[in-house]
Chains A and B, each alone.
Chain A
Amino acid sequence: MNPTLIVMRKELREMFRDKRVRNNAIIMPMLLILGMLSLFGFISGVGEKSNQKVHVVKASNSLVDKLKAEKIQVVMVATQEEGEKLIREGKARLLLVFAPDFDQKLQAGQQTRITAEYDPQEQTAHLALAAVQEQLMPLNAAVASKVLRAHGVPEQALVPAQLDEKQITVGKEGVNEFLVSLLPYFIVIWAFYGGFGTASDLVAGEKEKSTLETLLITPIGRSQIAFGKFLALSTVCACSSLSAVAGVIIAGVSGAPIYAKLFPQGLGFGLPEIATIIIVLIPTVAFFASLLIAVSTYAKNSREAQGYLAIISFVVLMPAIFGQVIGLTDLASNWWIRLIPVLNTSVTVREALQGKTSWSGLAITVAVGALLAFIGIRIAVHLFKREQVLTRV
């Protein structure tokens, strides 16, 4: 067997026997994603009408009936003071105070008033207010339309400038916007953090435990040792990243109610997208693994390695975070974005999920990742070949 593969196999065997690696790099990405998606699912459910609660100072009218018909919870209170007290105590989100002749004036085509009282610092109050406004809008439009007709004015006068929308879908239909902004981030982050915990053990840890000298005394070349460790770490990084993808897939296909709001049209991506993700993931994990190995080789011990890696993790985090919001800008269409490591991976994964893969962009991203991985490996091997790999302790 090739010595590089012998080293790789041994490293993988050791890594996967390590509970920390199994938990942190393989199980955790999936569980964290599922946990996070559950949280997002819960939060998105909070905005639903059925979860809105409105307090009303004793009144019965068409808007109250409409709110009830839309399954918005309506709680009657006897007086305005009582309702305000409930808001102050945090027991009520929104209090509606109707004019006594609300329906009569509405029917007569006259203006009537509703006072909405709420604590502006409470986000739930804004959600309840939006739900009320949503029901009030068609009611207003219907009355206005009736009045205009009665005066012989065409209904179009209500909307002097009509905006007509015509959607031109580029890419595929039914794209899950939530995933498009989130999944690239998870994929990139776990490709790095999956190997983060174990990288310091790979070389710096061997120095500490005095196993490195024994390994260096074997007849195989140092570049083969370094490359074997690099391949093993790349595998762990890739597994970690794919574990995050698996978490998303599980949530998407499970049909669990908590995820239903996040996946209204199912998973939103299939095998072609997964294949693209894997293609772009390979050079990315290779780059991360080479970087991690180089740092571990340079460091005197695990502790020093972890210190350096913590700093490097911020450099990886920044473009990854920016990759989440790049859709709010026009930057993603610029070719030079493909030259920025990490960010280019995010953009390419994002495009794949949207069904808009730019093949030239994908090629540049893969080429940049491969080049950086090559440079990283060269540095790691160079560091491995130096005497200081053993004497700098």
Chain B
Amino acid sequence: MVRTQGIKKYFEDPKKGVVKAVDDVSFTAEPGQIFGLLGVNGAGKTTLLRILSTVLVPTAGSAEVAGFDVVKDSAKVRASIGFMSNSTALYGRLTAREMIEYFGRLYGLEGARLKERMDYVIKELQLNEFLDRLCDKLSTGEKQRVSIARTILHDPPVLFFDEPTAGLDVVTSQTVMAFIEGARKEGKTVIFSTHIMTEVDRLCDHVVVIHNGTIRAEGTVEQLRAQSGETNLERVFLQLVGELRVAV
């Protein structure tokens, strides 16, 4: 489970003054659920995910991930999450196998357990054909599969996806989305950040619309449609963030 309560993150900008990247955000994401964070670029989604993954410390408010406080138990939070984004790069001079093994060890896996988990992800994601090839030599799709393997290797109960399909071709995107659906079936708590409406429609059980750092609407996709009075999801989004007039 992921729970936030009044989370705020303000940055000091020499030119703009105080920037409210995330402002008073509260929500609860349950296990076995894909929880969507829908918003445009710069809405605050990445900052929110960085707080939840303990890379950033909130200015105010609290958050729990897998039952651990993101500030007080940050190491335990990090051990309980898998994080993947479109910009998640691999170490080019490591092979796919070394890359996965390295992160396995960083997550505390050793010996038989490490081997077992590696065997599992290698089989599950069909990494065998390029396992001993340097990551620099892999295709985009292969890199993304290695990235997924790295994300799930330690079998975390909570998974964060920050625009994981941005820049990917249709085939690779399908692989990523199928994997996210699989995670839901396994009872993981999935936080899925995106600005692509079709992905929200296909994947998300519950959506939070975030704009300028604040939550503008929350509910299932159908509830959001009803709330906005629109059927087209793009128009739903624009209506909810108050930008429909601009678009029209």
Q: Does A160 contact B (CB under 8 A)?
A: no
In the bound complex, CA of A387 to CA of B74 (Å): 14
**B167: min CB distance to chain A, Å:** 12
Q: Is the CB of B110 within 8 A of A218?
A: no
Shortest CB distance A386–B (Å): 10
**Inter-chain contact count A-B, CB under 8 Å?**
70
Q: Are B55 and A219 interface neighbours, CB within 8 A?
A: no
Stretch in B27-35, B98-106, B227-235, B238-246 with 4+ CB within 8 Å of A = B98-106
A211 touches B91 (CB 8 A): yes
Is A14 among interface residues, defined by CB-CB distance under 8 A? yes
A391 x B11 contact (CB < 8 A): yes
Which residues of B sit under 8 angstroms from A211, Cβ to Cβ? Answer: 88-91
Q: How far apart are B50's CB and chain A's nearest CB, in angstroms?
A: 7
Q: How large is the interface on B (under 10, 10 to 19, 20 to 34, 35 or more residues)?
A: 20 to 34
Kindly specify which of B79-87, B122-130, B209-217 makes contact with the partner chain. B79-87
Are A218 and B107 neighbours in the complex by a CB distance under 8 Å?
yes
**With A10-B94, A14-B93, A387-B57 as contacts: A210 and B106 at CB distance below 8 Å:** no
B residues 63-89 with Cβ under 8 Å of A? 75-76, 78-79, 81, 83, 85, 87-89
Q: Does A3 contact B (CB under 8 A)?
A: yes
The answer, yes or no, to whether A1 is at the interface (CB within 8 Å) is yes
Contact B53 A217 (CB under 8 A): yes
Contacting pair B81 A217 (CB below 8 A): yes
Q: Is the CB of A13 within 8 A of B88?
A: no
Per-residue contact bits, chain A 61-104, to B (CB 8 Å; 1 contact, 0 not): 00000000000000000000000000000000000000000000
Evaluate contact between A6 and B88: CB separation under 8 angstroms: no
Task: Point out the residues of chain B lying under 8 angstroms from A6, CB to CB.
Answer: 102, 105-106
Given contacts A13-B94, A210-B89, contact A219 B106 (CB under 8 A): yes
Cβ-defined contact, A17 with B105, below 8 A? no
- Decide yes or no: A214 and B75 within 8 Å by CB, A6-B105, A14-B93 being known contacts: no
Closest-by-CB residue of A relative to B86 is A210
Residues of chain B within 8 A of A214, CB atoms compared: 83, 88-89, 103, 150
Q: How far is the CA of A6 from the CA of B94 in the complex (A)?
A: 14
Q: Does A216 interact with chain B (Cβ within 8 Å)? A: yes
Query: A213 in the interface, Cβ–Cβ < 8 Å?
Result: yes
Are A390 and B50 within 8 A (Cβ)?
A: yes
B108 within 8 A of A: yes
A272 at the interface (CB under 8 A from B): no
Q: Please report which residues of chain A, range 1-46, place their CB below 8 angstroms from some CB of chain B when the two chains form the complex.
A: 1, 3, 6-7, 10, 13-14, 17-18
Q: In the bound complex, do residue A210 and residue B57 qualify as a contact, i.e. CB atoms below 8 Å apart?
A: no
> How far, in angstroms, from A389 to B98 measured CA to CA in the complex?
25
Q: What distance in Å separates the Cβ of B108 from its nearest Cβ neighbour in chain A?
A: 7
Give chain A residues whose Cβ lies under 8 Å from the Cβ of B85.
210, 213
Contact of A210 among B53, B55, B76, B88 (CB under 8 A): B88
CA distance A221 to B76 in the complex (A): 11
CA distance in complex: A387, B55 (Å): 7
- Judge whether B56 is part of the interface by a CB distance below 8 angstroms: yes
User: Could you tell me the distance between the alpha carbons of A213 and B110 in the complex, rounded to whole angstroms?
Assistant: 23
Check A58 for interface membership: any CB of B closer than 8 A.
no
A157 to B55, CA, bound (A): 89
Q: A208 — nearest CB in chain B belongs to which residue?
A: B89
Nearest neighbor of B134 in chain A, beta-carbon distance: A17
Least CB separation from B57: chain A residue: A387
Provide the residues of chain B in CB contact with A17, threshold 8 Å. Answer: 93
A14/B79 in contact, CB under 8 A: no
Q: How far is the CA of A214 from the CA of B146 in the complex (A)?
A: 13
Q: Would you give the shortest CB distance from B97 to chain A, in whole angstroms?
A: 12
Q: Which 6 A-B pairs have the closest CB atoms?
A: A219-B79, A218-B106, A210-B87, A17-B93, A210-B89, A219-B78
Contacts A214-B150, A217-B55 given; 14 further ones with Cβ under 8 A? A10-B102, A13-B98, A18-B93, A209-B92, A210-B89, A216-B55, A217-B78, A217-B83, A218-B78, A219-B75, A219-B76, A219-B107, A221-B75, A387-B57
